[in-house]
Amino acid sequence: MSEIRALLREDLQGRTPYGAPQLEVPVALNTNESSYDVPAVVVQTILERVAAVAPGLNRYPDREFAQLRTALASYLTETTGVTLTADHLWAGNGSNEVLSHLVQAFGGQGRTALGFTPSYSMHPIISRGVGTTWVDGLRGAPSGIFDLDLETAVTQARETQPDLVFLCSPNNPTGTALSLEVVKAVYDAAPHAIVVVDEAYAEFARPGTPSATTLLEGRDRLVVTRTMSKAFAFAGVRLGYLAASPELTDLLRLVRLPYHLSSVTQAVALAALEHADTMLGMIKVIKAERDRLVEGVAALGLAPVPSDANFVLVGGLADAGQTWQALLDQGVLVRDVGIAHHLRITAGTPEETDAVLAALAALDPSHRQEPS
Ligand SMILES: *Cc1c(COP(=O)(O)O)cnc(C)c1O
């Protein structure tokens, strides 16, 4: 072991960082980004707003990002029908930072976070980063391995008595949304826990999928996190946010670094929110491509998992790693999420769907799992 490595905190020894490969390939469908550029009309507003704040960059930004909180509250109110105000909102450089504020405030040494695997790999990484004990719960659904079963979740919440619970709906990497009954039941089963519902993909959910924001009223420990990285097609800006009780968001000010959202970030995010309809304009197309991907891979004899997100988890592969490489050899980058026999494919443009389906069709039949 190198000398520096030996100085690392003991609980971080042997851990690996988050690491989706960033490769230059013709078809990149591995991180659930939008394949569509920011529309020209929004680019124009962004340029104007950055020009407007540039002379003032000698000063620190608004530490409480009041205007942005108000704009995010309006966006959520309009899209979920739940009345939210600026003091319900909190934001950071990506929802990952918002999640890290939550674990810094409510997790840490001697505290426990519970999640249900497979789910977003950053939940345990962020939790452990501040010394929180991570409990890898089981999804345990009778209806299929990927839906989170209410009874299973409640039993584990009661047994663990966690300080934090992570739910993810629609779930990454499996793709399906969670029923609000599960959220309510877990909230009641873990009476001392902050319950986080990561809704990074909410805007892609199939019709009739309600947001957990509808449960916030009267539940002071419930938190719903969102991001502009996915449906908003704005991953490069790094803007994530959450909605929770004003008492809870107020406490997050204890752990955020001062001035964590730059003046440029605030201005650019505000510009995009003003154009929300335009920014969200490709969702219909992306959902159609997602559904085409599901049908296309099924027609190839593979096993897609139903999806409420902008990606599809595809099962039925003999060896996920080998297929991942064989697709990359054809210029198509997808995601090996570490689930045996499965790969996760982001829904992009119609041309990208064509390309990934063609690449899958071109594979040797030995890539397919033998029917059991
Ligand atoms: C992509 C993703 C995020 C987004 O993180 P940002 O930091 O906002 O880019 C959050 N949660 C889940 C489950 C995701 O898949």
Domain boundaries, given as residue ranges, for the chain: 21-36+282-367, 40-279
pLDDT of residue 146: 80
Alpha carbons 146 and 174: distance in angstroms, whole number: 6
Q: What is the DSSP letter of 29?
A: -
- pTM for this structure? 0.95
Q: What is the DSSP letter of 338?
A: S
Give the other-Cβ count within 10 Å of 69's Cβ: 22
Atom 12, ligand 1: residue with shortest CA distance: 200
Q: Distance from CA of residue 275 to its chain's centroid?
A: 22
| Angle (CA) 142 313 122, round 5° | 90
pLDDT of residue 206: 86
Quick one: which atom of ligand 1 is closest to the CA of 31?
Answer: 1
CB 116 less than 6 A from any atom of ligand 1: no
Atom 15, ligand 1: residue with shortest CA distance: 172
CB 245 less than 6 A from any atom of ligand 1: no
pLDDT of residue 142: 57
> What CATH number labels 40-279?
3.40.640.10
Quick one: which atom of ligand 1 is closest to the CA of 229?
Answer: 9
Question: Quick one: which of 169, 192, 179 has its CA closest to 116?
Answer: 169
Enumerate residues 6+ apart whose C-beta is below 8 A from 234.
38, 228, 269, 272, 279
pLDDT of residue 156: 97
pLDDT of residue 1: 65
pLDDT of residue 314: 97
Alpha carbons 86 and 285: distance in angstroms, whole number: 32
Atom 14, ligand 1: residue with shortest CA distance: 200
CB 240 less than 6 A from any atom of ligand 1: yes
Element (H, E) at 90: strand 89-92
Strands 112-117, 303-304: pairing kind = unpaired
**Could you list the pLDDT tens digit for every one of the 372 residues in the chain?**
678 989 999 988 988 888 778 889 999 999 999 999 999 999 999 999 999 999 999 999 999 999 999 999 999 999 999 999 999 999 999 999 999 999 999 999 999 999 999 999 999 999 999 999 999 999 886 556 688 999 999 999 999 999 999 999 999 999 989 999 999 999 999 999 999 999 999 999 988 898 999 999 999 999 999 999 999 999 999 999 999 999 999 999 999 999 999 999 999 999 999 999 999 999 999 999 999 999 999 999 999 999 999 999 999 999 999 999 999 999 999 999 999 999 999 999 999 999 999 999 999 999 999 876
Question: Quick one: which of 330, 311, 313 has its CA closest to 25?
Answer: 330
pLDDT of residue 103: 98
CB 198 less than 6 A from any atom of ligand 1: yes
**Residue among 103, 119, 171, 172 to mutate when testing ligand 1 (max atoms within 8 A of CB):** 172
Strands 112-117, 133-138: pairing kind = parallel
| Angle (CA) 198 201 207, round 5° | 115
CB 162 within 8 A of CB 186: no
CB 92 less than 6 A from any atom of ligand 1: no
pLDDT of residue 140: 83
| Angle (CA) 111 116 118, round 5° | 130
* Distance (Å) from CA 240 to ligand 1 centroid: 8
**3-state DSSP helix/strand/coil % of the chain, to nearest 5:** 45, 15, 40
Alpha carbons 314 and 297: distance in angstroms, whole number: 8
Q: What's domain 21-36+282-367's superfamily in CATH?
A: Aspartate Aminotransferase, domain 1 (3.90.1150.10)
Tokens 């930004």 correspond to 61
CB 100 less than 6 A from any atom of ligand 1: no
* Distance (Å) from CA 354 to ligand 1 centroid: 26
CB 124 less than 6 A from any atom of ligand 1: no
For CA atoms 188, 192, 198, 199, the dihedral sign is: positive
Alpha carbons 273 and 279: distance in angstroms, whole number: 8
3 state DSSP class of 332: strand
Alpha carbons 153 and 141: distance in angstroms, whole number: 10
